[in-house]
Amino acid sequence: MSVAQSEAISAEGSFFVPVRGSLAGIIVLAVLGAASSVVPFIAIVELARVLLPAIDGAPVDAGRVWVIVVVAVIALVVSVGAAFVSGLVGHFADAELQHSLRRRIVRHLQRLSLGWFDRRSSGSVRKLVENDVVALHQLVAHSIQDVLTAITVPLLSLVYLFVVDWRMALAALVPLVLIFLLYPLMMRGAGEKYVQYDQATQALSGATVEFVQGIAVVKRFGQVGRSHRRYRDATGEYSRFVGEWTRETAVLFTVVELLASPIVVLAWLLTAAVWLVANGGAAPVDVLPGLLLGLGLTAPLMKLGASGQFLRNATKAQQSLGAFFALPSVAQSDSPQTPKGGSVDFQHASFSYDGEQRVLHEIAASCSPGTVTALVGASGSGKSTLAKLVPRFYDVDAGAVEIGGADVRQIASGELYRQVAFVFQDVQLLRASLRDNIRLTRPDATDAEVEDAARAAQIHDRILRFERGYDAVVGEDANLSGGEAQRVTIARALLADAPVLVLDEATAFADPDSEAAIQKALSILAADRTVLVIAHRLHTIVAADQILVLDGGRIIERGTHPELVASGDRFAKMWADYQANHARSLPEGAGA
């Protein structure tokens, strides 16, 4: 077993520490309730033993009758009360567990590297915080009670039956034995089938979301038939799989359901009882326990079987959360350093995502305060990865990345993000007011400071056009275009006022109307800062103080735009190709 697996298992076990006392209470109450539920049936048998002889004129022990009745009533009250309280405690424990897990998830999310989020969608984080936590509801609130009832009731019933009449006990066992023999056959290959079921469900879900989100576009361009195709294929594959699995298990499933049904069980027990009485092997009163208690042996098991899918989801959620909590946190220095200045230095930095195949090789470069350093290169050259080493999305495998002479790994997280601001193409806005979105990096910022940042980011006038202005909530009464959302993130970065700025060129996918406004906002943002920009449109970096050309994770050229063009090497060819392909988008004089 690997260390990661061991840590995941340990993490799973620690989920329930906050509700350990409640779980113990649930177990005690569930066993008490299940055991008490058997007593009234035994009481009926005992009453029959006392009262039936009275038909032939035998005296009735009234005291014993009242004792049996009182015990039965008390047991009934205890059974109902214990089941109710057990369910109540289970739901309270579930609420406490969910609260505890969500707080723990948030704390662990805060300690993970930004790179972990960079490689995952918001949906995967939502799955942890919402779906996986909710899936544990069945485990805590219901399954403990169901499992203990499914064990306790048949066990006590069989013990009593074997004591009073072993022949009826054996008869009552027959349906159980048959179910236990047939159930594994019915579930044969279920592990692989469940994996296929999950895949089919995910494919259908993805196709549905894609179709719904893109319906306006495809209708506009007359491609409805094509957009339907993937959804139809996913639906057909899901239906085919479910239908095939259902047909494979239908016969055995029906047989198991029949064997467990009260009517079939009662018919079988009556047959056995009549045979015993008719052959003089037992008196009518002796077969009564088998009829009453044998009838209740299969019901708890079938209830447990019906919860199988919920239990499977809960188990998967537990494993998923365990693996999440086993993820290593970002290492924090015991003796944190404070940067002195805003310089950025790459000291022969090397990095790999998997610890084996490096994507950056001994990068050496210096970025001085008040300068712009541009990273250019083909897709996959390593420029985005290099830029993300500065705000510590990832940690280098060798060498170092320094800000103001301090290794970023030795800078406390809070201090690091006061030193580094970043604006990426992947805009992230919260479902909160525009004011709160802008001051996300400085919650204590005044309204005037927020508005000044918005003005500098060329978004103030647009915000005022919303009915609620800065109080408009993103996604509700504030619907922003991509360029407008980008300018909100620029305002956020301006408000942070960090000395180092990492910029994944924000205008790469902006519409022409937004590009000029974003460029103006960026020029204000970059003033007097150390700027590291990932360049997609080469005309935007002709005035950069330093251009680093990357290929295969290595710097193959460096210099200013005129120097690199004059050299006639890789960048010069890139610039010539860019001019040929994007001449119309170049500002006047850019190629001079």
CA-wise closest residue to 269 among 294, 298, 286? 294
Cα torsion angle, 274, 278, 279, 280, sign: positive
Residues 318 and 409 grouped into a single domain: no
Per-residue pLDDT of the chain (592 residues; tens, 9 = 90+): 444 444 444 455 577 788 888 889 999 999 999 999 999 988 988 888 888 777 766 787 888 889 989 999 999 999 999 999 998 998 899 888 888 888 888 888 888 887 777 776 555 666 677 778 888 887 788 888 888 888 888 889 899 989 888 888 899 899 888 888 888 887 777 777 777 777 777 777 767 766 665 555 555 445 445 556 777 777 888 888 888 888 888 888 888 888 888 888 889 999 999 998 888 878 888 888 888 888 888 877 777 766 677 777 788 888 888 888 888 888 888 888 889 888 999 999 999 987 778 899 999 999 998 888 999 998 888 998 999 999 998 899 999 999 999 999 999 888 888 899 888 777 778 889 999 999 988 888 999 999 988 888 888 989 999 999 999 998 888 888 777 888 888 888 888 888 998 887 655 545 556 566 666 666 776 777 898 988 877 887 888 889 999 999 999 999 999 999 999 899 999 999 888 876 554 444 444 3
Total of domains in the chain: 2
Strand segments, DSSP code E, in 332-391 are 344-352, 358-367, 372-377
Distance, in Å, from the CA atom of 591 to the CA atom of 502, rounded to the nearest integer, reads: 25
DSSP 469-489: GGGPBBTTTB---HHHHHHHH
Residues 324 and 448 grouped into a single domain: no
Residues 321 and 350 grouped into a single domain: no
pLDDT at 511: 56
What's the pTM?
Answer: 0.68
Report residue 77 CA to chain centroid gap.
42
Let me know if residue 427 belongs to a domain.
yes
User: Alpha helix locations (H) across 326-433?
Assistant: 383-389, 413-419
Residues 357 and 323 grouped into a single domain: no
Residues 548 and 409 grouped into a single domain: yes
Residues 425 and 313 grouped into a single domain: no
DSSP 403-469: ETTEEGGGS-HHHHHHHEEEE-SS----SSBHHHHHTTS-TT--HHHHHHHHHHTT-HHHHHTSTTG
Residues 321 and 415 grouped into a single domain: no
Let me know if residue 245 belongs to a domain.
no
Instruction: Supply the CATH number for residue 548's domain.
Output: 3.40.50.300
Distance, in Å, from the CA atom of 175 to the CA atom of 460, rounded to the nearest integer, reads: 75
Instruction: Supply the CATH number for residue 42's domain.
Output: 1.20.1560.10
pLDDT at 221: 46
Let me know if residue 397 belongs to a domain.
yes
* C-beta separation of 342 from 419 below 8 A: yes
CA-wise closest residue to 363 among 352, 371, 354, 351? 351
pLDDT at 209: 64
Let me know if residue 43 belongs to a domain.
yes
Let me know if residue 546 belongs to a domain.
yes
pLDDT at 586: 45
Residues 324 and 425 grouped into a single domain: no
Amino acid sitting at position 481? S
The β-bridge partners of 402 are: 345, 407
The β-bridge partners of 533 are: 374, 503
Q: At what angle do helices 298-306 and 144-164 cross, to 10 degrees?
A: 160
Residues 445 and 574 grouped into a single domain: yes
* C-beta separation of 289 from 160 below 8 A: yes
Distance, in Å, from the CA atom of 16 to the CA atom of 346, rounded to the nearest integer, reads: 45
CA-wise closest residue to 48 among 20, 18, 68? 68
Distance, in Å, from the CA atom of 429 to the CA atom of 591, rounded to the nearest integer, reads: 36
CB count within 10 Å of CB 42 equals 20
Q: What is the pLDDT of residues 100-153, one digit of tens each?
A: 888 888 888 888 887 777 776 555 666 677 778 888 887 788 888 888 888 888
Let me know if residue 200 belongs to a domain.
no
Residues 115 and 152 grouped into a single domain: yes
Domain span including residue 76:
1-157+302-328
Q: What is the pLDDT of residues 561-588, one digit of tens each?
A: 999 999 989 999 999 988 887 655 444 4
Let me know if residue 88 belongs to a domain.
yes
- Six token digits for residue 540: 């935007």
* C-beta separation of 76 from 40 below 8 A: yes
Long-range pairs of 258-262 with CB within 8 A, sequence gap ≥ 24: 259/175, 259/178, 259/179, 259/182, 259/298, 260/175, 260/179, 260/298, 260/299, 260/301, 260/302, 262/295, 262/299
Q: What is the pLDDT of residues 12-62, one digit of tens each?
A: 557 778 888 888 999 999 999 999 999 998 898 888 888 877 776 678 788
DSSP 223-249: -HHHHHHHHHHHHHHHHHHHHHHHHHH
Residues 123 and 79 grouped into a single domain: yes
Let me know if residue 518 belongs to a domain.
yes
pLDDT at 3: 41
Residues 323 and 364 grouped into a single domain: no
